[in-house]
Every structure is written in C-alpha cells, then in structure tokens.
Amino acid sequence: MANILSGKTAVVTGGEGGIGAAICQRFAAEGAQVVSADLRKNGDDKTGVEFREYDVTSETHAQELFQNLQAQWGALDILVNAAGIEIEQTIEETSLEDWNRIFAINVTGTFLTAKYAMPLMRKSDGASIINFGSYDGFIADPSLAAYCATKGAVHALTKAMACDHGPEGIRVNAVCPGFVDTPMLQSFFGSSGDIESLKQAVRDVHPTRTYGKPVDIANLVNWLASDEARYASGQLWVMDGGLTAQVQQMRL
Amino acid sequence: MINSQMTLRGKTALVTGGRQGIGRAIVDRYVEEGARVMTCGRGPKPDNLPDEVLWATTDVSKPDEVAALCRRCQEDLGPLAVLVNNAGVQIEKSILDTTDEDWDLLMGVNARGTFLMCREMIPHMIARGSIVNIGSISGNTADPGLAIYNASKGFVHSLTRSIAVDHGPHIRCNAISPGWILTDMAEAAFAAAKDPIIAQKDALSRHPAGRMGKPEDIAKLALWLASDESDFATGQCYVIDGGLTAASPLNPGLF
C-alpha cells in the first residue's frame, strides 16, 4: 500500500510529539506533503516533513497557517489534531489555570485548527479530519480527571463535525488510543516507584500482553486519512490492544 | 423514599429464577412493596419461599413449559404488569472447551428462555407493562473464560432494545447489567483464591463504591424499573456495578 497518500496534503498538529511524529513520517512515506505544526521542533529534519511553529491555542496562528497553505497548496486533504497534554490530578488538585490550559490545548486547539482549515478542506476531493480522543474519554484512569473530560469533549465534537461537514465531502473521525509508549506514558509511569515491574504489570493487563507503539496509531491514522476509508466518518476508533474489551480482572 | 409507601401495590409480577441470589432478592422486594408475585425455577418450591409467593416449577428453555407457566400466570395472577427475566446459568469455559450440550444448556436458558418468556407473556401484559431483563456488564466487555455467557448477555441487551422498539408504547422493556454481586458463586471464587485476603482487597479497590454489590442492590433498580417512577425509561441497559466499569482496567494504585 505504499504511496496510498500520493498527491495529498496534510497538516499534523503536535507533529513533533511521540504519536504525531510517527504520523508525519508515515504520511511522508506514503507520498503526502506534510506540515508538522508544533510549538517547537524536536530532533533533525524529517524527510518530506516541513516544520511550522504553531500554538494550537492561538487563533492568530491558525489563521496564518491556513492563509499560508492556501497560497502554497490551494487545498488541504488531511488534518490530524494530535496536539494534546495530560495533567495527572484529581479535580480537587486541579487549578482553574491548569483546567483552562488543558481544555485550551486538547479541545479549543482542535476546534480552532479545524475551524480555519475548513475552507481549504472543502477544496479537497476527499478530505479527512482525524481528531485525538482516548479510551479515557469512555472510562476513567485515576487522577486524570481534566484529561478524561477533554477527551470526552473531543469525542462529541468529532461526531458533531462529521454531521455538519459530511455533506461538504469532509470526513471526521477520532482515534482513541489506549496505552502507547510515548513521553506522555513515561511521565505517567514516572510518578510510580519500580518502573520496570510496573511496565510488565501494565503489559500483562492487556489481552495482547503489550502496550502500543506510536507506529501502531500511525497505521490507523494513515488508513483513516486515505481514500480506503472513504465511507468512514463520525466514528470513535478505539485501539488499545484489547484493554477495554475486558471487564476488570480481579486477582483471584 | 420509596419505602414510605407500597410502590407496587395492586401490581402483578412474574420473576423467573427466583430460588436464590438476585432473583430471590427481587421477589422479596416486590412482595414487600405490595406486588402479587409468581416465580419459577427448575426444581420444587423452595422451603423458605414466603407462602404468598406463587411457585411454578418451570424450565424456561422449554417452549411447552413456558406456555404452561403463562397459563398458570393468567389463571392465578391475572393480567401481568411486570415480567423479570432473571433466570440464567453461567459456564466457565472458553469456546474451545464449550460442548454442544453446554451451548444448549446456557443459550437455552439465557437466550431462548428470555425470548420464549417475552413471546408468551407480552400478549397478556397490561398497557404500560414493564419487562426487566437481567443482562450483565459481561455483555458489554468480556470476562475471560466465560465466552458464551458473555455472548448470551449481549443477546439479552440487544433483544431488550428490539422489544422496546417493537412493542412500545404498550410495553416498556429495559435491562439491568449488574457488575460483581456477592452471591454464593462469588464467595466461592474468593474462598478458592491463592490469598483470599489479597483477592478481596484487590476486588474492593477496583470498586469506586468501596464494596461489592449485593442482590438487594439489583432489586432496588428492578423495583424502580417496575414502578411508574420509570415511566419514560425504555430500551436501555442500565449498568449497576459500584463504578467498576467506569474505571480503567489499568488502575496504577493496584500495582
């Protein structure tokens, strides 16, 4: 399926992060022209990926990015809203400032970027928006309250956008990863004691006995971005190694 | 709140599988709330069943026995207001170990039994009658080694929606999906654990409610669904599990 995205244009927010970078590289390998939009560049130049400094909470940045791409590309086929943060706190520990910050990035960032991308996406022959939900938008991990709430918001926004813009030829889906080996997951582990035994215990809870890699998520995003998925819209695509297919297992 | 008056006064109710556990808790609660109740099971009437509760020995997987139960219900109770399909069996096997006999037994009771009871009783239910099916959280997500049990509960959830859609507004139909309820079966599982104390502690820490469920907890919801308080509720599968399935299976506090 090489070059499945040949001739397509793509913007990936959070394109320098763990999952975002894997998506940029896959898109480029599949023949797309890719812009990685993120706060700062991470590592060396990636072949076929153009970095743009971009803050998803800034309306000005969103306006400018898509004005520039209008001149450069004329149309946008793929938008991936992968920028996101997590805050490891209960609601009681969460300051209003932190609450507003995580919503500004995870929810408002998705809204603003999609809002200003819309005119360019209408000019595509087969536009696809992929938002980042999470299995935490369905069930809760402890001490991730605001994060869980933002992902629930993204899920609902995904369906709303799919309804509103489906008639214009724009598909909208969300991917909902489970545990994926990223800096965010390392940070989540970092708050615990014995990291290696914790990692093994986490693997053991998965029916597949492993947690995911960024490339696993990129595989799904690539398919959703492609014309192979042209009938897929408005759905929340959980990919978690089977984690949430099971009832919690007590240790008997 | 509900105890201050007899919520089901003057109502008739048929509860399958009322010998023990959740079914018995529902029977007891309905009686307490003023309903006239008939229940059934495969064996003879249990000695400790209150005298006012009617018993009909029935295997709900058998069409002729269900038809006979339906006739007895009409004769002895009259038009039916509430039907609770609680009878169920559980077989602890993956599909590779599951025999054809296992399939016939389990799907016969859990799936065909629910279907037969609804098919026979719906024509004899009063307007705005309420059917309450017992599903399970295992019908939404899988418990290991319970393959066809999980699947049978998925059937119950889906049939619940179909009945609500096909037979509304005459009939309301909802399902209750219990989590871990402390029945004899659960007690036995803990007793057999490598370390029963650790197993109990582990189970509790997975429940935001801080305890496991009791049959009475399910009876409380079955009461509400049978009552006119739930007049607008139909076609839903209500989970009641002390918060178990609201939490991720990966609870870092447990490692």
Which pair of tokens denotes residue A208?
């597949």
Three-state DSSP at A31 gives coil
Q: Is the pLDDT of residue A25 over 60?
A: yes
Residue A155 C-alpha, separation from nearest chain B C-alpha, in angstroms: 17
User: Quick one: DSSP state of residue B83?
Assistant: E
| Closest Cβ–Cβ partner in B190, B247, B255 for A140 | B247
B60 near B116, Cβ under 8 Å?
A: yes
| Closest Cβ–Cβ partner in B137, B194, B203 for A247 | B137
Nearest CA in chain B to A188: B252
Just list the catalytic residues of A: 147
Closest to A14 in 3D by CA, of A116, A110, A120:
A110
Residue A245 C-alpha, separation from nearest chain B C-alpha, in angstroms: 5
Predicted ipTM > 0.85: no
CA angle B52, B55, B61 (to 5 degrees): 150
Given B149, B171, B215, B219, which residue is catalytic?
Answer: B149
Burial track B211-227 (b if 16+ CB lie within 10 A, e otherwise) = ebbebebbbebbbbbbb
* B191 has a chain A CB within 8 A of its CB: no
Which of B137, B141, B245, B248 to probe the A interface (max A CBs under 10 A)? B248
pLDDT of residue B4: 52
Question: Which pairing describes strands A78-81 and A9-13: parallel, antiparallel, or unpaired?
Answer: parallel
Question: What does CATH list as the number for A9-177+212-236?
Answer: 3.40.50.720
Nearest CA in chain A to B187: A252
**CB–CB contacts below 8 A, A to B:** 76
A27 or A185: which leads in pLDDT: A27
Write out chain B residues lying below 8 Å of A179, CB-based: 250
What is chain B's percent helix, strand, coil content, to nearest 5?
45, 20, 35
Between CA A122 and CA A127 the distance in angstroms is 7
Write out chain A residues lying below 8 Å of B180, CB-based: 250
Between CA B58 and CA B73 the distance in angstroms is 12
CA angle B193, B198, B200 (to 5 degrees): 75
The residues of chain B that CATH labels 3.40.50.720 are 2-178+214-240
Q: What is the domain partition of chain A in residue ranges?
A: 9-177+212-236
Task: Write out chain B's pLDDT in tens, 255 residues.
Answer: 444 578 999 999 999 999 999 999 999 999 999 999 999 999 999 999 999 999 999 999 999 999 999 999 999 999 999 999 999 999 999 999 999 999 999 999 999 999 999 999 999 999 999 999 999 999 999 988 999 999 999 999 999 999 999 999 999 999 999 999 987 767 777 888 888 888 888 888 888 888 899 999 999 999 999 999 999 999 999 999 999 998 887 764 555
* Percent of chain A predicted with pLDDT > 90: 81
Identity (one letter) of the amino acid at B247?
A
Q: How many CA atoms lie within 13 A of A197 on its CB side?
A: 5
| Closest Cβ–Cβ partner in A197, A243, A252 for B250 | A243
pLDDT of residue A224: 97
Closest to B137 in 3D by CA, of B153, B124, B126:
B153
Nearest CA in chain A to B244: A248
Query: Interface of chain A against chain B, CB under 8 Å?
Result: 135-136, 139-142, 179, 188, 192, 197-198, 201-202, 205, 243-252
Closest to B117 in 3D by CA, of B129, B128, B127:
B129
Please tell me the class of the B2-178+214-240 domain: alpha beta
* Percent of chain A predicted with pLDDT > 70: 97
Which pair of tokens denotes residue B176?
């209750």
What value does the mean pLDDT take over residues A125-134? 97
Cβ-defined contact of A198 to B252 (cutoff 8 Å): yes
B145 near B93, Cβ under 8 Å?
A: yes
| Closest Cβ–Cβ partner in B137, B199, B252 for A251 | B199
Write out chain A residues lying below 8 Å of B193, CB-based: 251-252
